[in-house]
């Protein structure tokens, strides 16, 4: 019999014998891999739940609360900026309130003054980061220079009120988003950080977004990118600060929607907590990643936001979330157009 014919007859049998021999090994490898992947997922989920419910984060006393130190808060006249101002005052920080509107800043300062059992000082400083020039920045620098600042919250942010395709936004609005959400954060931090380093104590916080830290939001492209910048910048700066033993901690707070919201159109839901509840979750979990497991210098403190991030990242639904975001924003834009 020809050798080639013999080989052709035997080849399927040889292959079958090889596969039969390898099947137990292959099955074992697949089984063990599945156990490892599932076990790792379960452990990450358990760790996240412990951080959200049982473990406590760093106490703000580490950063000088109750010792005459100051917390500087931008976007302090409303929303979570106002809530941070009130709750940090209750914890003993003097508060520097920064926002655009003097009357709103004065109202928050009065709220702090009227808090029962709270005796702290406040400074109000109105500034519009979207138009501020060197003179306005110098005035702010002069206010902050003599203060013992223990905490900086970069919370001020802007965006167009209605979801809009980037091509239709216009250069002025897009530039304003970058100026307020990125450039002002960098500039203010560069003013405050040297003093923190010299005192070997400080906490730098920036209000991020799931739209920048997890899944970008179409029709809010520049806003999403500005929040993604905060993640990358804080992670790089965080390594600098930790490796140099500066004593300064840094983190981006990943937020979903919080009522009432930037444009006051959001009501409380399962995934949308009120500002007071959200801020309490932040201050109770400083230093714990929450839903941002495995990502240094980023944390997702509110439980429903954390569960959402865990689900999207663990099961590969980021792209689908972007599609969902596009659909939701398109509907929101259409609804706004009909209401005009």
Q: Which residues of 77-116 are buried (b: 16+ CB within 10 A; e: fewer)?
A: bbbbbbbbbbbbbbbbbbbbbbbbeeebbeebbeebeeee
- Catalytically active residues are 223, 227
Residue 62 DSSP symbol? G
Three-state DSSP state, 198? helix
Beta strands in the chain (DSSP E): 70-74, 94-99, 122-126, 149-154, 202-207, 248-253, 298-299
Cα(323)–Cα(216) distance, integer angstroms: 10
The percent helix, strand, coil of the chain (3-state, each to 5) is 55, 10, 30
Tokens of 18: 């090889």
């Amino acid at each position: 019999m020809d050798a080639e014919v013999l080989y052709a007859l035997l080849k399927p049998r040889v292959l079958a014998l090889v596969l039969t021999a390898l099947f137990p090994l292959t099955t074992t490898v697949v089984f063990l891999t599945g156990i490892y992947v599932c076990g790792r997922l379960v452990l990450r989920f358990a760790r996240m739940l412990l951080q959200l419910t049982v473990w406590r984060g760093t106490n703000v006393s580490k950063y000088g609360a109750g010792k005459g130190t100051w917390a500087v808060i931008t976007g302090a006249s409303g929303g979570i900026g106002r809530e941070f101002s009130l709750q940090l005052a209750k914890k003993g920080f003097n508060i520097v309130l920064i926002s655009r509107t003097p009357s709103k800043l004065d109202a928050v300062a009065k709220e702090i003054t009227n808090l029962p059992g709270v005796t702290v000082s406040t400074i109000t400083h109105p500034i519009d980061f979207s138009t501020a020039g060197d003179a306005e920045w110098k005035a702010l620098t002069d206010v902050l220079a003599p203060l013992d600042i223990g905490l900086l919250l970069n919370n001020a942010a802007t965006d167009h009120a209605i979801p809009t395709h980037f091509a239709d936004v216009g250069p002025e609005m897009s530039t304003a988003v970058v100026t307020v959400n990125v450039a002002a954060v960098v500039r203010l931090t560069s003013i405050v950080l040297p003093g923190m380093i010299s005192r070997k104590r400080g906490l730098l916080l920036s209000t991020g977004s799931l739209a920048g830290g997890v899944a970008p939001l179409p029709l809010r492209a520049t806003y999403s990118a500005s929040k993604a910048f905060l993640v990358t910048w804080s992670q790089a700066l965080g390594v600098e600060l930790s490796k140099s033993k500066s004593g300064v901690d840094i983190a981006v707070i990943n937020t979903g929607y919080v009522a009432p919201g930037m444009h006051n159109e959001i009501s409380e839901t399962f995934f949308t907590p009120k500002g007071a509840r959200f801020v309490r979750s932040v201050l109770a979990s400083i230093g714990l990643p929450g839903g941002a497991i495995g990502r240094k210098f980023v944390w997702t403190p509110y439980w429903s936001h954390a569960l959402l991030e865990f689900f999207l990242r663990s099961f590969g639904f980021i792209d689908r979330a972007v599609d969902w975001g596009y659909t939701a924003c398109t509907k929101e834009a259409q609804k706004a157009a009909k209401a005009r």
